[in-house]
Amino acid sequence: MREPQARDDYFAPYTTESTVTERVVFILLLALAAFLRLYRLSEVPPGIHDDEVINAQIADQLRTGAPFSIFYEAGEGREGLYHPLLVASRALTARVPYWYRLPSVACSLLTITIVYRLSRRWFGPWAALMAAGGLAVAFWSVHLGREALRVVTFPPLAAGMALALWHGLEQPAHGKRTVWWFVLAGFLLGLSLYTYLAARVLPLFVVLFVAYLACFHRARLRMHWRGLVSLLVIGALIAAPLAIYVGVHWEQQERLTRLNEPLRALLTGDLRPVLSSTAATLGMFVWRGDSQPHYNLPGRSVFEPVGGVLFLSGVLIALFNLRHPAFAFCLLWTVTMLTPTMFTRPAPHFVRAAGALVTTFILPGLAVRWIKKRLGSKGGVLSRSKGRIGLAVALGLLLIANAGLTFRDYFHRWPDLDDVRGFRHAGLAEVARYLDHVPEATPIAACTPFLNEQHFFWRTDRLAWPYLLNRRDLDVGWYNCLEAQLFLRGGRTGRYLFGTGWDFAPFVPSEWSEQAQTVATFRDNRLVRLEVADRLEAWLAQLTRPNAPSLTFGEAMAFLGYQMEPAAPAPGSTLELLTAWQVLTAPPNDLAIFLHLLDGDGSLVAQGDALAALSDTFRSKDVFVQRHVIVLTPDVPVGKYQLVTGLYVRGGERLFLDSGMGDALILEAVEIRDGSD
């Protein structure tokens, strides 16, 4: 397995010109890679991940005039190099989800091309085509090539840096041309740090490889030390703004501090978490891969059994040839790029290990190259030719088998997982595709239990909606039907979207929901049509209305009445109310209803504030009914209390009554009685 090569030839590139056959094979591999990354791109991955939503939101902000930033706080912080690519893609195509996924396709194909050039320069065409084929069809690389994640910009820049660095090192003497290769490598090194958190280990690799040269190739190091120093200096200068920003705003690195439990344990002398994460990471290639359904078919390893044997054989070949810098480069790069997942949880993590894509698929190529050499050294010309043809056929069959496995797992098994669909708003995406093909513009009220648009990472269905639906002429109101009910345009004809197991709010008369007409059914949702304007008006007339000069708040919302049970609650019980409101004009975002129980001094005793909807999606004449629950503590004194209600913006001020009579409506006195009475 050891390479019988003179030391002077260690850095000599493979310079034999490519044959027509090699070029045709590479073009076919690139076409196969493009197919696997473009096929059903609007449907798989299903829906949109919250990470993709955040990136698309940043791109939209840039399009509308927001200044470019090297680092964005959104979603626990993210480097800024990727988002201008989304802006450029958005200019090319307005259709979703193509515009926010096309940059990933381009970066993935570029990575394959650069890795092919790099591995050919090191080990020749057989290893290079093996690396390109592996990258073209592997589930890991296909998935990253279809997701709108900023990490996709890291592998092509890192591979480009590796190629430029090697071009510089292989020059026989220090000169102007040599310097420019190191300058380019430094530029790409610095730029890589603006792609993804895991890229921060790239300078570590450069330092380690320089240490390797100092141990085994001092003559080459003495020849190119100026170039290597310029590489590191230029990389540091380019990365300096990001480093300064991160240092000043370290609190935005909260995600890093949450995930690096193994590293923190190591610093305290506990090796077990790091050893466990390292073992899991190294096992991802042949034993068990990333278990998170976000990024992998849970547990699927990078290689199937035959590919795994070739990979492990390639690792052994590289270990036997560590004095050869190309072999050492491959091993050192792979290990260094795996450290972000070795020192964090969970492990393995395919996204954090993305830098290892550059060399992972070169290693099986080393085994193929060794087999090809053995075949070429035995027998006559005809025998050697037959052996190589047989090897090529075997590798072609292996490629087809792996492409088939990836196609099955990625396009059929993985998108069908419940966890994948739930994380990615997949059910909503199916509804969006249906609505894109139906010209009807009747408004929609969509039930969704998660309405927290202040969460640091998770994005609501409403925020994902613009990146799933192409048309912009639909009014959609978002609310939680478990706690409230939105009646579109006062109960006039509207469409209502419910997830599996959900229906109109529990307080809505059952005969109304029974009369709703099904418009369309989906795997996770159903769309129904309902018209209850007259019945809603009669139902609202039965509610209690306070006697007040005005029931309108801020010229935006009118109070229609309330219903309360029980009439005389006991200490330790609950008081349940329904409040009904009509929209006059578009209300402020993040509106809430306060419902307070006050004692005789006007002090707050208990409250049931709520508004289970996104208020800025309300439209004129909409009617909204909210269920409130006021919990009475066991020690609340019996007696009479006053119930008041009104509106306020969460984190802001209350809306005033149009009459000028304050900001609260007095409803009725509530008498709390001893439960033993």
| DSSP-assigned letters across all residues of 140-177 | HHHHHTTS--GGGGHHHHHHHHHHHHHHHHTSSS--HH
Predicted pLDDT of residue 675: 66
Predicted pLDDT of residue 402: 98
Of residues 537, 581, 588, 559, the one with CA closest to residue 659: 559
Which residue(s) pair with 445 in the sheet?
A: 477, 496
The mean per-residue pLDDT over the stretch 303-324 comes to: 97
Lookup result for tokens 């292996």: 398
Tell me the two tokens of residue 22: 């090699």
**H or E element in which residue 540 lies:** helix 533-541
3-state secondary structure of 263: helix
CB neighbour list of residue 522: distance below 8 Å, 6 or more residues apart: 427, 430, 431, 434
Tens digit of pLDDT for each residue in 619-664? 999 999 999 999 999 999 999 999 999 999 998 899 999 988 899 9
3-state secondary structure of 374: helix
Label the pairing between strands 444-447 and 476-479: parallel
CA distances (Å), origin 249, targets 57, 62, 83, 665: 22, 22, 20, 45
Tens digit of pLDDT for each residue in 305-314? 999 999 999 9
Tens digit of pLDDT for each residue in 76-108? 889 999 999 999 999 888 788 889 999 999 999
Tens digit of pLDDT for each residue in 461-500? 999 999 999 999 999 999 999 999 999 999 999 999 999 9
Predicted pLDDT of residue 268: 85
pLDDT at 395 over 90: yes
pLDDT at 1 over 70: no
Lookup result for tokens 């019945």: 535
Strand order in the sheet with 591-598: 604-607, 591-598, 639-649, 665-672
pLDDT at 553 over 80: yes
CB neighbour list of residue 174: distance below 8 Å, 6 or more residues apart: 223, 224, 226, 227
Predicted pLDDT of residue 454: 84
Domain 543-672 matching CATH 2.70.50.60: the answer reads yes
pLDDT at 260 over 90: no
pLDDT at 548 over 60: yes
Q: What's the CA gap between 138 and 361, in Å, rounded?
A: 9
Predicted pLDDT of residue 677: 53
pLDDT at 4 over 70: no
Q: What is the DSSP string of 435-473?
A: HHT------EEEE-S---TT-SS---HHHHGGGT-----
Tens digit of pLDDT for each residue in 566-575? 888 999 999 9
| Most confident range, picked from 1-5, 6-10, 37-41 | 37-41
Lookup result for tokens 């009118």: 558
Q: What's the CA gap between 421 and 430, in Å, rounded?
A: 11
The mean per-residue pLDDT over the stretch 213-221 comes to: 95
Predicted pLDDT of residue 6: 47
Percentage of the residues of the chain whose pLDDT score is greater than 70: 96
The mean per-residue pLDDT over the stretch 110-137 comes to: 97
Dihedrals φ, ψ of 613, to 5°?
Answer: -165, 165
> What pLDDT band is residue 295 in, cutting at 50, 70 and 90?
very high
Percentage of the residues of the chain whose pLDDT score is greater than 90: 83
Tell me the two tokens of residue 96: 């979703």
> What pLDDT band is residue 250 in, cutting at 50, 70 and 90?
confident
Helices (H) and strands (E) in the chain, counts: 23, 16
CA torsion, points 558, 560, 564, 567, in degrees to nearest 10?
A: 110
CA distances (Å), origin 207, targets 169, 202, 384: 15, 9, 43
Q: What's the CA gap between 96 and 38, in Å, rounded?
A: 13
pLDDT at 294 over 50: yes
Q: Cis omega (within 30 of 0) on the bond before 103?
A: no
Q: What is the DSSP string of 265-295?
A: HHHTT--HHHHHHHHHHHTTTTT-----TTT
Q: What's the CA gap between 108 and 143, in Å, rounded?
A: 10
Predicted pLDDT of residue 196: 96
Label the pairing between strands 665-672 and 444-447: unpaired
Q: What's the CA gap between 634 and 570, in Å, rounded?
A: 8
DSSP designation for 47: S
pLDDT at 444 over 50: yes
3-state secondary structure of 65: coil
Predicted pLDDT of residue 456: 81
Which residue(s) pair with 527 in the sheet?
A: 497, 520
The mean per-residue pLDDT over the stretch 342-355 comes to: 94
**Average pLDDT across the chain, whole number:** 93
Q: What's the CA gap between 444 and 498, in Å, rounded?
A: 11
> What pLDDT band is residue 183 in, cutting at 50, 70 and 90?
very high
Predicted pLDDT of residue 633: 94
Q: What is the DSSP string of 87-154?
A: HHHHHH--STTHHHHHHHHHHHHHHHHHHHHHHHHHH-HHHHHHHHHHHHH-HHHHHHTTS--GGGGH
Predicted pLDDT of residue 93: 85
From 267-276, 300-309, 392-401, the region with the lowest mean pLDDT = 267-276
CA distances (Å), origin 42, targets 46, 95, 341, 433: 8, 9, 30, 9
Contact 125, 18 (CB under 8 A): yes
CA torsion, points 31, 36, 37, 40, in degrees to nearest 10?
A: 120
pLDDT at 7 over 70: no
Q: What is the DSSP string of 616-664?
A: GG--TT-EEEEEEEEEPPTTPPSEEEEEEEEEEETTSPBPPBTTSS-S-
From 152-161, 573-582, 668-677, the region with the lowest mean pLDDT = 668-677
Domain with CATH 2.70.50.60 in the chain: 543-672
DSSP designation for 592: E
Q: What's the CA gap between 613 and 590, in Å, rounded?
A: 8
CA distances (Å), origin 449, targets 117, 307, 498, 616: 51, 45, 10, 17
pLDDT at 667 over 70: yes
pLDDT at 380 over 60: no
